Amino acid sequence: MTRDIPFPAKKTHFFLFTPVREALAMTAYLIGNLLGRLLMSWLIVFLVVLLRQRGRFRVALRRSLWPWGWIPVGILFVLGILGTVLAHH
């Protein structure tokens, strides 16, 4: 019969201990969530610009990546975060 060996089973580095590992996982989750929300905000702005440019893909891409194109992206991003915070509050 084998005996269950509690964590850590062998000598590990400091950064692999459970509280630190959980903090890193939470940080990765948070960064992934924020980057995903930012990407979706940009995609919405890109689609609106694409419709306004009547399907001219390159012009819409250039205008959505132009520095002024990031203003509506930022507004959508902040509104999405605010909506999530207010929904969970």
10-58 pLDDT, tens digit per residue, is 555 555 566 666 666 677 778 888 899 999 998 988 888 889 889 888 8
pLDDT recorded at residue 48? 87
Distance CA 45, CA 27 (A): 27
Q: What is the pLDDT of residues 65-85, one digit of tens each?
A: 888 888 888 898 999 888 888
Domain coordinates in residue numbering, the chain: 47-89
Query: For 37, left (φ over 0), alpha (ψ -120 to 50), or beta?
Result: alpha
Preceding peptide of 8 cis, ω within 30°: yes
CA dihedral over 57, 61, 63, 69, signed as positive or negative: positive
